[in-house]
Structure 1
């Protein structure tokens, strides 16, 4: 029994179907039960914890209410009101002020010692200046009006303001413990004016006593959060006053539902919002701890899946032996039959569908054996007949080929003659057309040569005039260079004169300065001479400025003259080259005129020879037309004979091909049947 790929066998497929189906249903039922029980347990625990948190929150609200009542007692205490009203008008360093402040401290001590949870009471003026303190800590000396908690109390305008926990108290005294606080603005009940700010620090132990009995399970925690998500109370003292590490948004705590999941879905949160402080009492429980009892179902599911897998393996092996093994045997027998062994038969031991399939296979192989034996006999007879038909067809084809070859040679010669005569006729016609074109072109060339000769004569005349004008231009350029050189010398003379005038102006200016000095020495008698000397000096300055302007203009003229000389010096050699080029072009025009005269004479002789060649071409064209007509008639007759011979040869070839094909089919059938073993 041969096995190829076990995965492709029917037994293996049935085995895998049983295994996957059983495991799928067992795991589906098990994990569905696990998820349902997990959700039910989580919901029940959350509901129970929610009620616990709500009850604890309500108890804390009663506690908060007691502290608010305490602030109201201080506000309504008649003795305290009198003391606060009296201290306002007293000087700070006076004895009455100190005595009144001491009385206020004693009054605060009464309230502080009456409630052990109160760590300290502080009373401040509205500008933040301390008035009095009582309890375990003292108020600072500097003002506290810049503190955020102080501003919050003032902003409440007389309502109780709850303040978050400070890890070391509100004034961070040595050895201080964490405290949260309540504050209130104390008003004058007569005119409602704000008088003082009260701050009561409360130890977080009072919260710990109320929340110690609340258990959130292993890994769980109970804490109080402010609206800003800062920790007011927690069993972890290091987190007090810090942002909570529980990843939950503040707005998600505003719904009517009192239990939610955190962002990571790993904590079940139950909470209660205080109506007094606005803080959230929250219990956080790890989801893994809540559903640890439900994991027993998960373990049972895996055990049942393992048992089901073992059962599926056993069933698969039984099914593979009952169904897969007989099918594999039948497949191997069919492969032997495919290779040509028709003697194979299957041993049938059962009467089910597989046994019926084996019987049908045996009957099919028996009928195929009989069919092959009968076909083998018929193939022998067809092979003998095909051999005789092939010999006769080959002889007929050989004779037809010999006739066709001879006929094709005759037809080919006639066709070649007709083609060659037709080509000769076309060539003579083309020669005639080309001769006419040559004659016309020759006439056009004669006319063009005459025109070229006339244009050459006219060009010679123009070149003579151009030479004369170029010589005149050269003479004018030479004169211009000489005149510009003379002008350059003149500008140099002007510059020398300007230098003399400049020196005269300087001397005049010096003389006028000396005259001014002498006039000043003469006193009142020299004032008129001083005016004249001043005017002379002004005229000398004007002369100097005018000489400088003229000098600038002269320098500009000198520079432009130098540039003109440079341009003319550059242009003069170009004029020399232009004269040489014009003379050379005149010589070329004269040579063209000489050559064109000889070309016109030769062109006349060529025209006469072309006329003689055109007459001979007409005679040749008539002769080629007669030869072409005879060749076409001979070619048509030969092609008819060749067509008949070709048709006969095609028929003979077809008969030979059919005979060969029949022979091949007979041999192929014989070879195919020889593969079967009967």
Structure 2
């Protein structure tokens, strides 16, 4: 064409430089936000879990301390009601003294936390379980004795002190025995805090934490550090802020310390953890977050490259089509193969299947369909113009037919323009409908994104619950292993008992042999006594008694042998049952291991599900971006359709002017012939077939 514009040289701009960074940012920024939120959420959950565990263990130990104190109070109250203590008045009464000594020993034996139990009668020696008690010990000079007397029969707990004999930390509960207003003595029981400290230090508080006990004045009573026991920290924050019965102390640590008071004993139990308590969990979370971020960045880059490649392919296809039209080729059409990003190779034929181009295709397919439809109508219009040019050439041959031919041609042009205007209106309406559908698509994409976010939240909750399940299964496995070890030790002990029983059987056989020898000796003695006559009669009586004793010993050894045989049978049966239980325990251990493996597989599948959700979310962002670009393109097409409509109206007005100026047409026939020739030359440049 003569008026075809030359392509300008210079560097061309590309939308790829906008699409790639935008898509990468749209994918990676939400991932970073989610990872940061997950980090802080995980840290908060770990803190809550550790503080709750700290609280539970401290409460458990506090309850045990209170129960021990109550048990000692009940014990001393029960002893004070017994007649042995209320009627004892003379330390020369060995029978009464032995009864009291037995009661004291029974009290000490029944509880592992009792150091000593003793009774101090008035003006008499102390009776109890105390070993190496100084001979000059005066119980009435002690604080617990004096305070018990002052309380006149009420219970009294002493302050914690270090026992002068054992060197252990202890507390003493005492009560005066008063009958009818007369003081008979004072009962006292020592609570051994050192033994309780051994139990306290065996309790693990998290990975780095521990428990300790302070008195009301801030003295260390129990601690995992023996050097601290007996030292005072009354001015510390731990003591000053422990004003309630239970609570947390905010001592500028990541995890608060928990305390619980034992009012009965005047103690406070504290649970604390170290600064690096959550280090392992936090490091694991950071590693997982970094891996997730790297995977997200890789996915974002790949998605951006694919999306930009797709957009560039579509843009290149449209540009090529418009350039062909600009060069005069009105047969240009866009096909499904023009949208393929991959090379058209035989081995890629399945992947490069042409996209259908019709009014039911996707957004880009509908754009191509609208372009093809527009070109079809444009070909019809240009073909009509060529026909009209031929008619004008014929009309110039005769002056008589000019008016009729011109009028007919003008009417035909008017009808054609009217058809074009109608087609343009339909195209404009279709474009508006397409905009509405794109907005509906945008709403649907938004709902999909919300559902994906909810799915991700549910998946996180499921992952946390599954992690707790794994932890509980591990604890069950550890407890079961401990049970199996205990059963093995029990089997070993029963084997030892069985061997001891066999040794007893040997001893019984020896005794039986001795009995037989004794019986034989008695018989010989009887014979010798008979020979001796009257002088051996007394010896015969003794020999007869020895023989009877030998017979009784023989009968007893037989009974013992029968009992031992019965015990051996039961012992062997018990060994068999214990070994059977041990075998069944090994089968149960295998079952628990299989359950743990299954739980781990569930965790792996949950991780894969989370990865799939992230992929779906990234595709949602891509669809949203494509929707915005398509909406802009459709709006441009709508604007072009409006311009075409305005052009057809203008041509229609020109046709009316031609009809109004038919009278002047005759004088302008020569000029019209020239214009008709030029018009034919111009339209012939278009390729219609």
When Rg is computed on C-alpha atoms for both structures, the one with the higher figure is 1
- TM-score normalized with structure 1 length: 0.34
Higher relative contact order (CA 8 A, sep 6+): 1
- TM-score normalized with structure 2 length: 0.34
